[in-house]
Each structure stands twice: as C-alpha cells, then as structure tokens.
Amino acid sequence: MKMDGKCVVVTGGASGIGRTTVLTLCEAGARVFLGDINQEGGAETASMAQGMGGGATFLPLDVSDDSSIEAFAKEVHGATSQVDGVANVAGWDIIEPFINNTPDFWEKVVRINLMGPIKVTRAFLEPMIERNAGKIVNVSSDAGRVGSMGETVYSGTKGGIIAFSKSLAREVARHQINVNCVCPGPTDTPLFAGQPERMREALTRAIPFRRVATPEDIANAILFFASDLTNYITGQVLSVSGGLTMVD
C-alpha cells in the first residue's frame, strides 16, 4: 500500500498504536502531522520517522481542548496545501468498575474518546468537502462493539464513535469522502501491560490466534483504510482482534 504524495493527520501519535501508525504511514510514503498532549513522546515519534526517511511533523494537541484543536488545525493547514486523511487514534481510559467511576472521570472519558475525534474531524472536514476527496479513519474499540467489563463508559464512547463514523459516512459520501472505523481488540500497549497478569493471560487464551494484537496489526488496518485501496469502502467497522469477537 503506497501513500506517496499523501498527507495524513494522526492524533495520539506520541506512543502505542498512534506512534506505530505514524511510522507505518511514513514508511508507506505519506507525510504525517502528528498531534499529542505528550510533547516529548510526540517529538520522539517525529524523530524516529525522520530517521527512517519519512516526513513527520509533531505539533502539540490536546483533543479535549477546543482551542488546542483549533491551533493544531491552523498550523497544519498553514504548512500543507491539503490534508488527504485524518486518523483519530488518541484515546484514554482507566479500567475499574462503573460503580467506582466519578463524574469527573466520565466527563474526561467522553471528552477524549468521543468528542475529541468528532471535533478533530470537523476541523479538517471542510477542505475535504471542497476538494471532493478525503479519508477519515476513526479508531474505536471492540469494547464499543461487544462491551468490556470495567470499561463501561469507555465502551459507550467507543460505540458512539462507531455510530458517528457510519452516520458521517452517509453524509459525506456525495463528496467522495470515505469514513471507516478500526476496532482493536486487546493490544500490546502500555495500558494492557499495566493490567494484572491473570487478566492478560486469560485474554490471550481466549483469542483464537493465542496472542494479543501488536500495534503494527492495528496500524496496518489504519493504513488500509487511509489508502486508495478503500476508495469504494465507507461506513465499515473492522475488528482487529485475532478472532476474539466474531460478531456482526
């Protein structure tokens, strides 16, 4: 999958799936603008990409802050003539029983995981409509498809991202803009590594492939949806879970 000449925005690019997505897109030939609240990690990702010969620029971004999103989009639009794709990867959660959640926790989860992608998408959508071209790739979660114990509000936001993606796909199809959704299952990220060993082992045993996903597994799915291979695919939800959740 070649992305030569394409420009893609990636949120959450400082670590985990976001970092690997940046590197995967750059390796495919894309120019990437990555945003993250973690400025040190974001700068490191950009440096890694440049060391591979890729074109990556880090800009500070807090997807829960309207002014930060506005400033980020303004800088990107000022630095490039067009944005061909947006990958909304940034996310946040703490695994704990719903009954232990606080209202402040709920609000933070919703701001980052639901309203963040909505607002970032809106910040880059209008020029895509004017050009009649563009790819939006939203990273949801299998938690949004089938639920996840200890991630109740998070699951709600990720289910919202699925519905948002499908509805937006219908709305902008007449402008030749593709909107699709990637749903990772358990993935080898710092969040997963921080879970109790018993839980990690049980999840691994439940996956037909007997391993959790790597960030590369998820990044390759994002690359697929961002590429020209999906010009006639929109409104779709792709589970990348090793067969853990085989449901429609």
Which pLDDT tens digit goes with each residue over 67-84?
999 999 999 999 999 999
Annotated active-site residue 232? The verdict is no
Q: How far apart are CA 14 and CA 229, in angstroms?
A: 27
Residue tagged active-site, from 58, 72, 124, 154? 154
Q: Is residue 141 situated within a structural domain? A: yes
CATH number of the domain that 181 lies in?
A: 3.40.50.720
Report pLDDT for 96: 92
Report pLDDT for 247: 67
Domain count, the chain: 1
| H/E segment holding residue 122 | helix 116-131
Q: What is the pTM of this model?
A: 0.94
Q: Is residue 109 situated within a structural domain? A: yes
Supply 124's token pair.
């880059």
| H/E segment holding residue 58 | strand 55-60
Q: Is residue 1 situated within a structural domain? A: no
Mean pLDDT of 30-43: 97
Which residues, at least 6 apart from 112, have a Cβ–Cβ distance to it below 8 Å?
63, 64, 90, 91, 92
Mean pLDDT of 84-105: 96
Q: How far apart are CA 189 and CA 141, in angstroms?
A: 14
Which pLDDT tens digit goes with each residue over 99-146?
999 999 999 999 999 999 999 999 999 999 999 999 999 999 998 898
Which pLDDT tens digit goes with each residue over 50-66?
888 779 999 999 999 99
Report pLDDT for 248: 58
Is 193's pLDDT higher than 80? no
